Amino acid sequence: MKEFYQIHELAKLFDLCPDTLRYYEEKGLLHPVRGENRYRLYGIQDVCTLNIIRALRELDLPTREIGAYLERRSVGETLTLLEREEALLERRMAELEAARQEAADRRLRLERYQAVKDGLVELVEEPSRPYVFLEKDFILEKEIDFQLKRLEQRHQDYIQVIGSQCMGAVMDEESLKAGMYNHFSRVFFLTKPGLPFDDTLPAGEYARLYYRGPYERLQDHLKRLLARVEAAGRSPVGAPLELYRIDAHDTNLEAEYVTELQVKVTPTV
């Protein structure tokens, strides 16, 4: 049985590069001896220490804390460390479960809106919907993705552009009166129950229409939606909304985009 191992042997054993072992030595975690030719030589204790270092690095412990543990290592210290490891693993498991649920919710969203009927105008009851928003004098259609990213950055702890939460934009009413359909006053994310929000979309009856394809089709479909509202003897209340159900974050094919138009309407008499 060999008493000492050269740096390349230990690096190969642990699938590390030699520079990593030199770094651990520099930080005082490993203490190789020098042979007659000044080459580093590692003993069995170094192998044991490197096993410990690898396990602690997987816990994201900084080298300073690893060094402190190695110096005062005992059963009591190890039990304390294991408690810390268990707490970390529980947090990671919770994060993984949240990510799994987010992926499942996104899949359900895509499956649901992939199957909706195109161009059908419906009247639906909507609950009060909390949301976070970013507002400007007006936002051009081509700016929406950039502004949504800015909004995500403000609320990055619980909002994701690529996720299950619905995002959308509020059309600018003054621009609509002037015949401009590509101006928006707000971008927003609907938030989930219990999360912070800036405002709410009011509960009530909404006219809605889904359309597929590029956003250039917005004008024709909005006119269709408003015409059906008028034909039903109702009037719009507030600005129309665009909700991006399937968009460029989900597909490269514009033909697969699904956009929902909504506008709150006056109640029946």
| Averaged pLDDT in 10-residue chunks for the chain of 269 residues | 83 92 92 87 91 88 91 91 89 92 92 95 96 91 93 90 88 92 95 92 96 94 95 94 95 96 89
Contacts of 197 (CB under 8 A, 6+ apart): 130, 131, 132, 191
**Domain tally for the chain?**
2
pTM, rounded to two decimals? 0.76
Vertex 133 angle, CA 215 and 266, to 5°: 70
- 145 shares a domain with 48: no
The dihedrals phi and psi of 211, each to the nearest 5 degrees, come to -135, 150
Domain span holding position 21: 5-73
Helix or strand (DSSP H, E) at 168? strand 167-171
Smallest Cα–Cα separation from 263: which of 142, 115, 122?
122
Contact (Cβ atoms closer than 8 angstroms) between residue 260 and residue 247: no
Q: Find the CATH number of the domain harbouring 167.
A: 3.20.80.10
The number of beta carbons lying within 10 Å of the beta carbon of residue 226 is 20
Examine the fold and report which residue of 73, 100, 132 is the final residue of a domain before the chain moves on: 73
Instruction: Report the length, in residues, of the chain.
Output: 269
Q: How far apart are CA 211 and CA 255, in angstroms?
A: 10
- 217 shares a domain with 121: yes
Q: How far apart are CA 23 and CA 14, in angstroms?
A: 15
- 216 shares a domain with 138: yes
Q: How far apart are CA 109 and CA 247, in angstroms?
A: 12
Using DSSP, state whether 234 is helix, strand or coil. Answer: coil
pLDDT at 5: 84
Residue 68 lies in a domain: yes
pLDDT at 76: 93
Residue 39 lies in a domain: yes
Distance of CA 191 to the CA centre of its chain: 13
pLDDT at 1: 57
Q: Give the amino acid at 59.
A: L
Using DSSP, state whether 237 is helix, strand or coil. Answer: strand
pLDDT at 257: 96
- 156 shares a domain with 238: yes
Helix/strand/coil (H, E, C) string of 12-58?
HHCCCCHHHHHHHHHCCCCCCEECCCCCEEECHHHHHHHHHHHHHHC
The dihedrals phi and psi of 218, each to the nearest 5 degrees, come to -55, -50
Helix/strand/coil (H, E, C) string of 171-215?
ECHHHHHCCCCCEEEEEEEECCCCCCCCEEECCEEEEEEEEECCH
* Residue 14: burial class (beta carbons within 10 Å; 0-12, 13-18, 19+): middle
Examine the fold and report which residue of 39, 55, 73 is the final residue of a domain before the chain moves on: 73
Examine the fold and report which residue of 73, 96, 126 is the final residue of a domain before the chain moves on: 73
> Which pair of tokens denotes residue 263?
């506008």
Q: What is the DSSP string of 107-144?
A: HHHHHHHHTSPTT-EEEEEE--EEEEEEEEEEEEGGGH
Residue 81 lies in a domain: no
